[in-house]
Amino acid sequence: MNCALALQTLPRVESDEEVVRIVDEVIAYIDSTGLEYYVGPFETTVEGDLEQIMEIIKFSQLKAIEAGAPSVSSYIKLVYSPEKHILTTDEKISKYHK
């Protein structure tokens, strides 16, 4: 693993229920990739290789549109280091979730 992504997907829809439904579909897509991920209250963190992460960014947008959002905004934080260890989500936060 050489990349970590924090992805917040915000479908432009009228109701909170629709936001939750569409975001749930995006998270289901992320789950289907088999990569390690952590769902937080504002964003989902995904760990993998750069190529896998870039696909997740792309297909998360497409999944939100496919699920019914007329448009979608995403906020992305990306850490990439081809030669160095990237701290995993577990290494960063496990001490707080016992």
Domain count, the chain: 1
Query: Which residues are within 8 A (CB) of 69 and not within 5 positions of it... i.e. 6 or more apart?
Result: 11, 12, 13, 18, 22
**Segments forming the whole domain that contains residue 29:** 3-96
pLDDT of 10-22, one tens digit each?
A: 999 999 999 999 9
CATH number of the domain within which 39 lies: 3.30.70.930
Find the helix or strand (DSSP H, E) in which 65 lies.
Answer: helix 50-66
pLDDT of 25-67, one tens digit each?
A: 999 999 999 999 999 999 999 999 999 999 999 999 999 999 9
d(CA 58, CA 55): 5
d(CA 11, CA 20): 9
